[in-house]
Each structure stands twice: as structure tokens, then as C-alpha cells.
Amino acid sequence: MERVAVAAARTVALLLRGLGLGGGTAFPGLVALSICPKLVERRGRRLGLGCALVTGTNGKSTTARLLSGAVAACGLPVVANRAGSNLMRGVATALALSPHVPRSMGVFEVDEATLPEAIAALSPRAVVFTNLFRDQLDRYGEVDRVVAIWQQAVSSLTPDATIVLNADDPLVASLAPYARGPVLLYGLEDAGPARSSLEHAADARLCPRCGHDLEYERVYYAHLGWWRCPTCGLARRHPQVAATRVAQDGGLVLKMSLPDGRCEEVITPLQGLYSAYNVLAATAATLALGLPWHEARRGLASHGPFGRQEEIAVRGRRVRVVLAKNPAGLNQVLRTLADASPLYLAIFLNDRLADGRDVSWIWDVDFELLQGRVAYLLAGGDRAYDLALRLKYASLQPQDVERRPKPALERALAATPQGGILHVVPTYTALLEVREILARWAGRPHFWEG
């Protein structure tokens, strides 16, 4: 049945792509699993070097792409769901469409709620947790529910599996006691980018052990920082992989301390403090997998996946596309954008199943950061008028409100001067639409081909 399932998946993928019906990143796997429900488990066992899973609210696509780059830089074949299809059907698609190579390694981005099922099927060597924020409340509920799912998932890992945790996120760091095997922590040590108080939209104000208010010595963003509970004593542990200095100059320069005491530097085109955490997570994962550092470092310096600070040249303009899908993520994007002015900006808000139906989260976003910095602003997407209302309350008046992605991009490009930069900030399903339109205009490959 496995051979039939693989053949069916490959045929479906060819048909979908040949007919222009999409990238075939999920449906082929769904077909394969209907024929052979154990496909992921069986194909996963053929990964000669095992696999790593990457999960979390924000940054899992970028972290998984950086880790895949590190594996490839070590000369190893990589099997990965690079297009971000992170349910079991996406993992199944990646495994079914990839040729069998004995010494290959899997790197799979996995949805937060899918993690237990992925662990059961793949028995990973390492699981990387990026962070935990409120996201798609209609699907996940509050963060406590996801923590409970993750606790169960970590407890099910084999003793030889390493969990890689963000020491600066109290919700993620609280998973350490549930591990049966090694725990590798990563975090920031540079005081320069830190603030002294939590953002109003922080998602973890209470101790995950006793429920008392947490105290922060440093806050990097949202609820990530140097935290402690004054009641029960639970506190941030010193990370084995730490960024001792974070510099931003057209990209990121990270000086890092590693578990063996070495100090190393990674330079990446990625921008923003949130990207520093993705590089740290991928670095820690390379060490957990035993990859040779000097080879792996070349891959860590690569760019992230489509739509994550991707730049596309279109009609004499540079278009930078940055996915943002929840308050914590969009606030960090806005903080990064606020360093540049005048801004030409198009924001797209959708409310489809993959985005989350509830868009009330936009009222927790600090759009006020952009006051006095925007030369042109467009509100787009299915919920463009909801977004325009929120922007109005932030004293930001969009010049255009357009739900349809193609006319919206046409207007935004026309408003951006030749040689200028148009920043496009979409939610997930809007990203798939606007990126395909921009790629077609620029003669770039489809997102699943990148």
C-alpha cells in the first residue's frame, strides 16, 4: 500500500502543478494518507539520519528553513516541508515526493497542535520550540491549552531526543521538567535591545508553575526576556546557546556563545530582533543534531522562506514581503519598519480558516508606532475595512482601502516612487495570494519551488 500511496501522491502533485491549481504541498499527502495511514511513520524510518521537528507560534518556518540550510551545508540530503504546509498532510507530502536517500535527514515544520501526532509517527532526534503567543484563538484557544498539548508531547519523547527551548519565553522554558532526555536552551544576553517593562499585549504575565505575577529584569519583546517568579522561585535559566551581542545593519550580526565555551559569529540578511531568536533556535538545533559547526554556519546565514522578509523587484520598485499573523509578530514587524521613513506600506488582513476567523487581535497591535512615518498606506484583504477602522483609531488614515489583492498591489506600486521600497505585510492566506501575484509580475518561481 505504501508504494501505491507514494505513486498516487506524486501523480496528484504533477496534476495540480501542471493544471496551475496550486503547489501540491498538502493534498498529495492527504491522498497518500487515505491509502496508507502509516505512510509518515514508514517513510520517516527511512531517513537514515533521523529528523528534527520545529514548532511554535512565530518563526517556525524561518527556523526550519535555516536549519535545513545548515543540514544541506554539511553535505547531507534534506527532506523538508519547505512551503510551510505544517499539518501531517504536509509532512506526508514532503516524504512521499522526496526520493529515498539512505543518509538523508528530515527537517519538518509542525503545527503547534499537530506536534503529538508528528512525534508519535517520526520519533524525532530533536524538537525545537520557538515561542508561544496567542494565535487563531478560535482554533487553539488561550495559550494554556497549547502548553498542555506540548507538555504531553514532550513527555512522549524518547530519552535520546533533545528538546531545544527558548529560555526567554516562560511558557516554552516551563516544558523542561517534562523532558526525559537532554534539554538545550537558547536566548539573548545582550542588554542593548532590552526594555524594562512588558508590552500591553504580552501573553505570559503569570508564572506557569504557581500562577503568581512574573517579574522581568529585561524585556526583549512581548513576554520574552529575563523573567522570574518571586513566589515559587521559578526563573529563567542561563541558556547554553546565547546571543551576547545583536547588531542590526541592513541585516543581523549575532555574536554567540556556544555550550563548549566558544564564541562564534553569524551574519544573516534577516532583520529584526525576532529574527535573532530564529537564528539562535536553528543554531541550537544544529548542535543538538551533532552537525559540524563550521559547515552548518554557512547554512544559518541563508535567508528565510518565501514571505518572511523576502524581497522581490517589481516594476522598478523593491517589494519586501513580511508575514504577520498575531499581535506579538506584527508588533515586531512594525518596530522594525518604524526605523525607516518615509514608509510605503500595504497591510492585508484575511480571516480564512488558516488565518483564524477572529480578527479582534488587530486592536492589540501597536499601529501607533507608525505615526508620522507613513507616506502611503493601504488597507487590504478580506477584512480591509476592519483594518482601516483600526488604523483610523491609531491616527493613520489609509489612502486606499481595497479588498482584492491584485488591484491593491497595483495601487500600492503606483504610489511607491521608482527605486523605492514597498513594504507588504499580509496575514497567512493573504501572503499566498499577494506573493503569487508579485512573483508572476517579477518572473519569479512559485512559492513551493523556492
Sign of the CA dihedral 144, 145, 146, 148?
positive
Mean predicted confidence (pLDDT) in 202-225: 91
Mean predicted confidence (pLDDT) in 423-450: 86
Q: What pLDDT sits at residue 196?
A: 81
Mean predicted confidence (pLDDT) in 148-155: 96
Mean predicted confidence (pLDDT) in 62-91: 93
pLDDT for 78 beyond 90: yes
Rounded CA-CA distance 52/299 in Å is 16
Query: Nine-digit cell at 301?
Result: 546565514
Q: What pLDDT sits at residue 446?
A: 66
17: confidence class by pLDDT, cuts 50, 70, 90: confident
Which of 87-96, 206-215, 279-288, 303-312 comes out lowest in average pLDDT? 303-312
Domain ranges within the chain, ordered by starting residue: 38-300, 308-449
Which of 127-131, 197-201, 287-291 comes out lowest in average pLDDT? 197-201
Q: What pLDDT sits at residue 144?
A: 86
Q: What pLDDT sits at residue 248?
A: 84
Rounded CA-CA distance 186/299 in Å is 18
Model confidence pLDDT, tens digit, residues 118-134: 999 999 999 999 999 98
Which of 84-98, 224-238, 279-293, 301-315 comes out lowest in average pLDDT? 301-315
Q: What pLDDT sits at residue 340?
A: 75
Instruction: Quote the percentage of the chain above a pLDDT of 90.
Output: 75
Which of 20-24, 42-46, 179-183, 395-399 comes out lowest in average pLDDT? 20-24
Residue pair 443/436 in contact by the 8 Å Cβ criterion: no
Which residues lie across from 54 on neighbouring strands? 109, 128
pLDDT for 302 beyond 80: no
| CATH top class, domain 308-449 | alpha beta
pTM of the full structure? 0.91
| CATH top class, domain 38-300 | alpha beta
Which of 19-23, 168-172, 349-353 comes out lowest in average pLDDT? 19-23
Model confidence pLDDT, tens digit, residues 321-374: 999 988 988 998 998 888 777 999 999 999 998 888 899 999 999 999 999 999
Model confidence pLDDT, tens digit, residues 316-326: 999 999 999 88
Residue 403 CA: distances (Å) to CA of 114, 380, 415: 32, 5, 17
When the pLDDT of each residue in the chain is averaged and rounded to a whole number, the result is 91
Instruction: Quote the percentage of the chain above a pLDDT of 70.
Output: 95
pLDDT for 138 beyond 50: no
Q: What pLDDT sits at residue 305?
A: 60
pLDDT for 136 beyond 60: no
pLDDT for 303 beyond 80: no
Burial environment of residue 276 by CB neighbours within 10 A (0 to 12, 13 to 18, 19 or more):
buried
Rounded CA-CA distance 74/53 in Å is 18
Mean predicted confidence (pLDDT) in 421-433: 94
Model confidence pLDDT, tens digit, residues 243-270: 999 998 778 999 999 999 999 999 998 8
Rounded CA-CA distance 195/221 in Å is 8
Rounded CA-CA distance 109/54 in Å is 5
Chain-centroid distance, C-alpha 139:
18
Model confidence pLDDT, tens digit, residues 29-43: 999 999 999 999 999
